[in-house]
Amino acid sequence: MKRILLTFSLFSFFALSSVFTQNRPDALARYRNGRNLESLNRLQEATANYNEAVSICNDEINQRIATRDTYIVMTWALQRLNKYDDVISWAERGLRLYPDDYRLNEIMGEAFFYKDDYERSLEMMQSFIAGLPRNDRASTAYFFMGEIFRIEGKFHRADIAYSTAVRLEPNIALWWYRLGLVLESLKDYASAREAFNRALRLEPNRKDASEGLERIKQLAL
């Protein structure tokens, strides 16, 4: 009889735990909904979803039910809210608990970039790529590295970084445009023309890429 009661108690516990888990708000779903709304230029609704995601993550941490993904979603949402100091603070806290989660390095790298701390940003991006070279955000990390090298006038390094970014993710017009700028600076006009054209194929109304092509025509004369 005791064994039956114990079995029933354990079954009840796991059943209730499953219900509570299923009913718990989903921070990642709120974050993704925010991104979708942002892409539709519904910025106020997007912001509300990002704030909800942050609130849910805070609750998970306070209730001691947080996982490594809690810190990931928290920092992603804070990044969309442009709260870069908070991104860095929470990412550092997450890394103390999960030092092998290099995704936190990448999001810190973005935050440092937007704070104009290029040295720390580059350090974080390189750490992320070394730890997770096949992660789906590797292309983003290479793009930010390209941005840093371009801003610092290190055009050969920028070329390598941007080229890697567009190889991994070839469907972002901005990245092809930035690559075109760097190739133009390196006087590789044929390759720059190709990069600007790739940007225009993805976004036909992209004025800066059209202007890049016009400059190339004049410079190549």
pLDDT < 70: residue spans in the chain = 1-24, 220-221
Q: How many CB atoms lie within 10 A of CB 102?
A: 20
In a domain, 84, yes or no: no
Structural domain of 180 = 136-221
Reading the block at residue 78, the tokens are 């804070």
Number of structural domains, the chain? 1
Helices (H), the chain: 2-23, 27-39, 43-62, 68-80, 84-97, 103-114, 118-131, 138-151, 155-168, 173-185, 189-202, 207-219
Percent of the chain surpassing pLDDT 90: 86
Instruction: Look at residue 221 in the predicted model and tell me its pLDDT.
Output: 65
Instruction: Look at residue 3 in the predicted model and tell me its pLDDT.
Output: 45
Do 186 and 159 form a contact (C-beta atoms < 8 A)?
yes
**Residue 189: which CATH number?**
1.25.40.10
The answer to pTM > 0.75 is yes
In a domain, 142, yes or no: yes
In a domain, 65, yes or no: no
Do 179 and 195 form a contact (C-beta atoms < 8 A)?
yes
Task: Give the span between the Cα atoms of 61 and 27, in whole angstroms.
Answer: 12
